[in-house]
Chain A
Amino acid sequence: MPPDMLFLAALDGIAYGSLIFLVAVGLSLIFGVLGVLNVAHGSFYAIGAYVAASAVLAAAGMGLPTWLAFPLFLISAILVGVVVGGAVEALLLRRIYGKEEVLQLLVTFAVFMILEDAQKVIFGVRPLFANAPMNWLGTVEVFGIYYTNYQLILIPLVALAVLVGLRLFLRRTSFGRAIVAVTQDREAAMAMGINATSIYLFTFMIGASLAALGGALSSATTSLTPGIGSGMIVLSFAVAATAGLGRIEGAAVAALMIGLGRSAAVYFAPEFDVLIPYLIMVAVLLIKPEGLFTTLQTRKV
């Protein structure tokens, strides 16, 4: 395999890993703060994709310029995160914090199933197709092979912005610090006057918006069909578990590993293409059962 091919394979891996990161980091954030493993996260991804694609198609139908798709992606992601995510947290999840993990899994799985059906009722089962934003950004030639700027540049840039933005938000803003405080010790944080309820709600909305943003961005490259959410939730679970649940930087590294691993598989051993994310996950968890980036937690007396 010539080195230029390896480089090209790496580019594919980065583009793919970036998209998974966007979704997985939301899942990880929600788990880190709320302690809930949210299966319905896949629905936020799917609904984000459907809403964004519908908005882009509607805008195109009205003759609006294609570049409007990019702000529309952001708006629809926030809208889905706030409205759907907010509703799920406030109406349902709030009641099961601190309960058994099995119950949380069952409840979020039920939400996932309900939202799957809701998607079919609202958006139908006909594949939705809105690739204009991808084509609008054009292609770039690397070693004689054409890439879309959308996948090669835009998606990794957005992922990087989210990573840096989340880090800065959690460490440099008072609200971000309050979130971290609640994560560390909810009771102590509440004693200091932090409103944990609104922090939970807000964090859940951010996590859901990130999944929806991943969906919105993928709507330009993928044909949206029923069931897209389940595929993504499995992958983001693999990323989050590899990284160590709740670790943001870890999610970035794990998503990249899985992206590059999958790319390498397509080049060298296509048979392993489907298996590779899970092989990576198993390999990491065998060596570090808490995930790559989890530090040992001291037990509170």
Chain B
Amino acid sequence: MAIKGSAVAVFALGALMALPALAQDKPKELVVGVATFLSGPASVFGVPGKNAADLFFEEINAKGGILGVPVKPVYVDEGAGTNQLISEYRRVVQDQGAQVMFGAISSGSCNALAPVAEDLKVVNVMWDCGTQTIFEEGKWKYSVRTQGHAGAEMMATLLYLMKVKPDFKTIAVVNQDYAWGRESWALLQAGLKALKPDVKVVAELFPKFGAPDFSTEITRLSALRPDVVISTSWGGDLDTFVQQAAARGLLKQSTFVLPLAESSMERLGNVMPEGVIVGSRGDHYFLHPKYKNTAEMQGFVKKYKDKTGVYPIYPTFHMNQAVTGLVKAYEKAGAAAGGKWPSKEQVIAAFEGLEFKSLTGTITIRSDHQGLEDQMLGTTKRVPEFPFAVYDKIALYPGKLVTTPVGEKSLDWFAKVKPELVNDKSIETFDYVK
């Protein structure tokens, strides 16, 4: 009897000790640290991301916050370099009490921050970085990615290219000379080998990141006349490359494939001709054929345009996914905790298997903390409604179809991709409709 009594006491004590992990008192505010590029060339993506975050957090706070707790965003500049980013990240968690961090845009930053988040035991939402290796080579308890990765983006690009231009024989690549440019090309090459082993790569050009002049590359491409020119460049580099290539007629000579061009379309205005294959790092597009007329999308586009003067680009949609995912994870974890304020561990656990609707498609978070999002590609078309090119011949690839399965590595998965995937029934297609 005495033994039984002690067992009950131990159990009760254990339950009491476990309580803080199960539920906590609601904090006065939820500090969310957002790492984004506020300086340097990448701020062309980082600042739109911040602008969108401000809008979304304002909206959430106007509705009473997350589980009744107002959110306070704190921004950290990713452009200051990895070392400073890490110390700022630590400072925001330790001194400002952030319970959630959004880190980050650059894959280099994400790779550096994942172990720091583990160390600090802070919920880390990778809101924009694309490298597929993070969850393929590491296992991170506290980090989660609310969007797709480079593998999904490049697979969708390959499938689209194979579908709309199956007869190409030669290909050239012009990518920025850093991790993204190299890694995305490695993925594409592995896929090309499997899908089209006879294709000849006639040039692999890796101009410096931020290069102001692509004349030499363009001359060489003009002379080589490849059937397809692919470039995963982004930002000012992509704008400059397209601008200089267009001025010299190259865009009409070869089929251009630009998987990150969604973010450049408005800026490129009348420079971007018809017939260029463009992608959007997910299904992010303010003219998304399925969602452009929803009240949420129209409200967001209007608010964003009023605030910034331009249409939203993919980092703003990625931010929407991160914020929405966070709210849904808190709600799920809060419900599991019986309406109490959930612990960080409960929040990160709630992300697993979470499914939520973004401004565009539905996002699912897998068991390896990798998000599944649809991928959208299209071919440019000029229409009277907009002073810039829009997507036509749109193909929407389900996230599950194009994302490397859990436990596999993208490069290996690309190497065994089958041509049947090109015409998979789950791929939806749309034409531009006014």
User: A residues engaging B (CB < 8 A)?
Assistant: 5, 8-9, 11-13, 15-16, 19, 116-117, 120, 125-127, 129, 131, 134-135, 139, 145-148, 151, 218, 221-228, 231-232, 262-263, 266-267, 270-271, 273-274
Q: Is B41 among interface residues, defined by CB-CB distance under 8 A?
A: yes
CB 8 Å contact bits of B247-274 with A (1 = contact, 0 = none): 1111000000000000000011101000
**Which residues from B are CB-within-8-Å of A134?**
243, 247
Q: Pick the contact of B222 from A129, A146, A222, A271 — CB < 8 Å?
A: A146
**Which residues from A are CB-within-8-Å of B212?**
19, 218, 221-222, 228, 231-232
Q: When chains A and B are docked, how far (Å) is the Cα of A232 from the Cα of B211?
A: 9
**Which residues from A are CB-within-8-Å of B97?**
none
Q: Given A131-B247, A131-B271, answer yes or no on A125-B215 (Cβ-Cβ < 8 Å).
A: no
Q: In the complex, what's the smallest C-beta–C-beta distance from A54 to chain B, in angstroms?
A: 15
Which residues 232-291 of B have a CB within 8 angstroms of A? 235-237, 239-240, 243-244, 247-250, 267-269, 271
Q: Is B353 among interface residues, defined by CB-CB distance under 8 A?
A: no
Q: When chains A and B are docked, how far (Å) is the Cα of A11 from the Cα of B220?
A: 12
Among B55-63, B124-132, B201-209, the stretch in contact with A: B201-209
Q: Pick the contact of B240 from A221, A226, A273 — CB < 8 Å?
A: A221
Which residues 52-93 of B have a CB within 8 angstroms of A? none
Are A131 and B243 in touch, CB under 8 angstroms?
A: yes
Q: Given A221-B243, A270-B205, answer yes or no on A15-B310 (Cβ-Cβ < 8 Å).
A: no
Are B243 and A126 in touch, CB under 8 angstroms?
A: no
Q: Is B210 among interface residues, defined by CB-CB distance under 8 A?
A: yes
Q: Is B327 among interface residues, defined by CB-CB distance under 8 A?
A: no
**Which residues from B are CB-within-8-Å of A15?**
213, 215
Q: Given A129-B267, A135-B247, answer yes or no on A223-B239 (Cβ-Cβ < 8 Å).
A: yes
Q: Pick the contact of A273 from B40, B46, B206, B210 — CB < 8 Å?
A: B206
Are B210 and A139 in touch, CB under 8 angstroms?
A: no
A231-B210, A263-B216 known; 13 new pairs, CB 8 Å cut-off, are: A9-B216, A16-B216, A19-B212, A116-B39, A120-B39, A129-B271, A131-B271, A146-B250, A223-B243, A225-B41, A226-B44, A228-B41, A273-B208
**Which residues from B are CB-within-8-Å of A232?**
212
Q: Given A120-B43, A146-B222, A147-B248, answer yes or no on A127-B239 (Cβ-Cβ < 8 Å).
A: yes
Q: Is B362 among interface residues, defined by CB-CB distance under 8 A?
A: no
| CB nearest neighbor in B for A5 | B223
**Total number of A-B contacts with CB less than 8 angstroms?**
131
**Which residues from A are CB-within-8-Å of B177?**
273-274
Q: Pick the contact of A8 from B223, B243, B271 — CB < 8 Å?
A: B223
Q: Pick the contact of A225 from B208, B220, B236, B247 — CB < 8 Å?
A: B236
Top 6 nearest A-B pairs (CB, nearest first) are A225-B236, A223-B239, A12-B216, A223-B236, A125-B43, A266-B216
Q: When chains A and B are docked, how far (Å) is the Cα of A283 from the Cα of B271?
A: 41
Are A146 and B248 in touch, CB under 8 angstroms?
A: yes
Q: When chains A and B are docked, how far (Å) is the Cα of A24 from the Cα of B213?
A: 16
Are B243 and A267 in touch, CB under 8 angstroms?
A: no
**Which residues from A are CB-within-8-Å of B94?**
none
Q: When chains A and B are docked, how far (Å) is the Cα of A53 from the Cα of B40?
A: 19
User: B residues engaging A (CB < 8 A)?
Assistant: 39-41, 43-44, 46-47, 177, 203-208, 210-213, 215-217, 219-220, 222-223, 235-237, 239-240, 243-244, 247-250, 267-269, 271, 310
Are A270 and B236 in touch, CB under 8 angstroms?
A: no
* Chain A residues touching B, majority SS: helix
Q: In the complex, what's the smallest C-beta–C-beta distance from B77 to chain A, in angstroms?
A: 11
Q: When chains A and B are docked, how far (Å) is the Cα of A270 from the Cα of B222?
A: 16
**Which residues from A are CB-within-8-Å of B223?**
5, 8, 145
Q: When chains A and B are docked, how far (Å) is the Cα of A148 from the Cα of B40?
A: 29
**Which residues from A are CB-within-8-Å of B268?**
129
Are B219 and A148 in touch, CB under 8 angstroms?
A: no
Are B267 and A226 in touch, CB under 8 angstroms?
A: no
**Which residues from A are CB-within-8-Å of B208?**
231, 273-274
Q: In the complex, what's the smallest C-beta–C-beta distance from A206 to chain B, in angstroms?
A: 23
Are B217 and A266 in touch, CB under 8 angstroms?
A: yes
Are A127 and B236 in touch, CB under 8 angstroms?
A: yes
Q: In the complex, what's the smallest C-beta–C-beta distance from B221 to chain A, in angstroms?
A: 10
Residue of B46, B222, B236 ringed by the most chain A CB atoms within 10 A: B236
Q: When chains A and B are docked, how far (Å) is the Cα of A271 from the Cα of B181?
A: 13
| CB nearest neighbor in A for B205 | A270
Q: When chains A and B are docked, how far (Å) is the Cα of A262 from the Cα of B219?
A: 13
Q: In the complex, what's the smallest C-beta–C-beta distance from A69 to chain B, in angstroms?
A: 15
Q: Given A218-B212, A266-B216, answer yes or no on A146-B249 (Cβ-Cβ < 8 Å).
A: yes
| CB nearest neighbor in A for B249 | A146
Are B207 and A16 in touch, CB under 8 angstroms?
A: no
**Which residues from A are CB-within-8-Å of B44?**
125-127, 225-226
Q: When chains A and B are docked, how far (Å) is the Cα of A86 from the Cα of B237?
A: 32
Q: When chains A and B are docked, how far (Å) is the Cα of A125 from the Cα of B79?
A: 13
Q: When chains A and B are docked, how far (Å) is the Cα of A125 from the Cα of B222?
A: 32
| CB nearest neighbor in B for A218 | B212
Q: In the complex, what's the smallest C-beta–C-beta distance from B302 to chain A, in angstroms?
A: 19
A-B contact pairs, 20 of them (CB 8 A): A5-B223, A8-B219, A9-B216, A11-B219, A12-B219, A16-B215, A120-B39, A127-B44, A129-B239, A147-B219, A151-B215, A221-B240, A221-B243, A222-B212, A225-B235, A266-B216, A266-B217, A270-B203, A274-B177, A274-B207
Q: Pick the contact of B213 from A16, A120, A145, A146 — CB < 8 Å?
A: A16
Q: When chains A and B are docked, how far (Å) is the Cα of A227 from the Cα of B208?
A: 13
Q: When chains A and B are docked, how far (Å) is the Cα of A221 from the Cα of B242?
A: 10
Residue of B223, B247, B249 ringed by the most chain A CB atoms within 10 A: B247
Q: Given A129-B243, A226-B40, A274-B208, answer yes or no on A262-B216 (Cβ-Cβ < 8 Å).
A: yes
**Which residues from A are CB-within-8-Å of B213?**
15-16, 19, 151, 218, 221-222
Q: In the complex, what's the smallest C-beta–C-beta distance from A273 to chain B, in angstroms?
A: 6
Q: In the complex, what's the smallest C-beta–C-beta distance from B266 to chain A, in angstroms?
A: 10
Are A223 and B219 in touch, CB under 8 angstroms?
A: no
Q: In the complex, what's the smallest C-beta–C-beta distance from B232 to chain A, in angstroms?
A: 16
| CB nearest neighbor in B for A137 | B247
Are A273 and B249 in touch, CB under 8 angstroms?
A: no
Are A266 and B220 in touch, CB under 8 angstroms?
A: yes
| CB nearest neighbor in A for B310 | A126
Q: When chains A and B are docked, how far (Å) is the Cα of A145 from the Cα of B40?
A: 35
Q: When chains A and B are docked, how far (Å) is the Cα of A263 from the Cα of B208?
A: 13
**Which residues from B are CB-within-8-Å of A273?**
177, 205-208
**Which residues from A are CB-within-8-Å of B235?**
127, 223, 225
Are B215 and A222 in touch, CB under 8 angstroms?
A: no
**Which residues from A are CB-within-8-Å of B39?**
116-117, 120, 226-227
| CB nearest neighbor in B for A4 | B223
| CB nearest neighbor in B for A139 | B248
Q: In the complex, what's the smallest C-beta–C-beta distance from B12 to chain A, in angstroms?
A: 58
